[in-house]
Amino acid sequence: MYKLIDGKKISQEIKDELKEKAAAMKREGKARALAVIQVGDDPASSVYVGNKKKACDYVGIESQTYKLKEETTQEELLELVEKLNADDAVGGILVQLPLPSHINEYKVLTAISPDKDVDGFHPVNVGNLSIGRPGFVSCTPAGVIQLLKRSGIEIEGKECVIIGRSNIVGKPMAMLLLRENATVTVCHSKTKNLKEIAKRADILVAAVGRPKFVTADFVKEGAVVIDVGINRDQNNKLCGDVDFDSVAEHTSAITPVPGGVGPMTVAMLMYNCVEGFCI
């Protein structure tokens, strides 16, 4: 019988712990705001921005939302980022992705001060993660580590395989698992013998972006499977990168979609806000 890793419950625990810390910071006059910038009206982005505001309200972090028109120029956006960088009342800055195609995402993300980069996307924070220095860490992979630890799953010495090498999930996931003393293999679209490699994993992390890509023949009996994917299946129903129905019975623990990694991303953003703001 496998254990279902409950991301909703664990993310709630984290937010409740942060609530106390945020209240203490307020009392001590150390609280600072999270500024969230959205350019354009992408409906998915509006939902994500709304969820971040809701989480801030719950934890007790002041949030400022900047909704800019689709036609906003790169210069105007960079001006706003610079203004927020210089504002001591603002402790964290987040630019909701994707940005409209006329704006250079890299230019904007690297304009955010690394000290306020609560998404952990700035090269300085990515570099700090690689060399084992403190800094902001990308929220989704940080959430995966919390899911494992808080479910009592040991990471040290384990063989971990990650499918996916994106800058926001796969690569930082590899660095975090290495930091926890796992032996890590990162796979991608050019990997040969993917199933054989995946089958070696004690902990298999799927961050592929393909609905139900990981089937039972990828999974060693008793492995832990973490599904980062958020996709729609042919019936437009939310599903992960793992074919849960065929895989779950072969695992010792697995995350569902929804209710697994998803809720952890916002919880870890709140963590970055509260912990980072204290530095």
Interface contacts to ligand NAP, rule CB under 6 A? 140, 163-166, 168-170, 187-191, 194, 207-210, 228-231, 241, 261-262, 265
Please state the closest distance from residue 4 (CB atom) to ligand NAP, in A: 16
One-letter amino acid at 160 equals C
* Strands of 33-39's sheet in order across: 63-68, 33-39, 90-95
Please state the closest distance from residue 156 (CB atom) to ligand NAP, in A: 24
- Which of 15, 38, 96, 116 is catalytic? The answer is 96
Residue partners of 118: CB distance under 8 A and separation at least 6:
34, 92, 93, 94, 136, 269, 272, 273, 276
Closer residue to ligand NAP, CB minimum distance, 151 or 191: 191
Closer residue to ligand NAP, CB minimum distance, 229 or 256: 229
- Check if 16 is active-site: no
Closer residue to ligand NAP, CB minimum distance, 80 or 257: 257
- Which of 52, 116, 212, 220 is catalytic? The answer is 52
Please state the closest distance from residue 252 (CB atom) to ligand NAP, in A: 21
Cβ–Cβ < 8 Å for 171, 140: no
Please state the closest distance from residue 6 (CB atom) to ligand NAP, in A: 15
Beta strands in 148-267 (DSSP E): 159-163, 183-187, 203-206, 223-227, 231-232, 238-239, 251-254
- Check if 119 is active-site: yes
Task: List Cα–Cα distances, 5 to 11, 81, 138, 212, 256, in angstroms.
Answer: 11, 38, 21, 18, 7
- Which of 6, 115, 119, 227 is catalytic? The answer is 119
Closer residue to ligand NAP, CB minimum distance, 202 or 241: 241
Which residues is 231 bridged to in the sheet?
A: 239
- Check if 74 is active-site: no
Would you please indicate which residues are annotated as catalytic (active-site) residues? 52, 96, 119
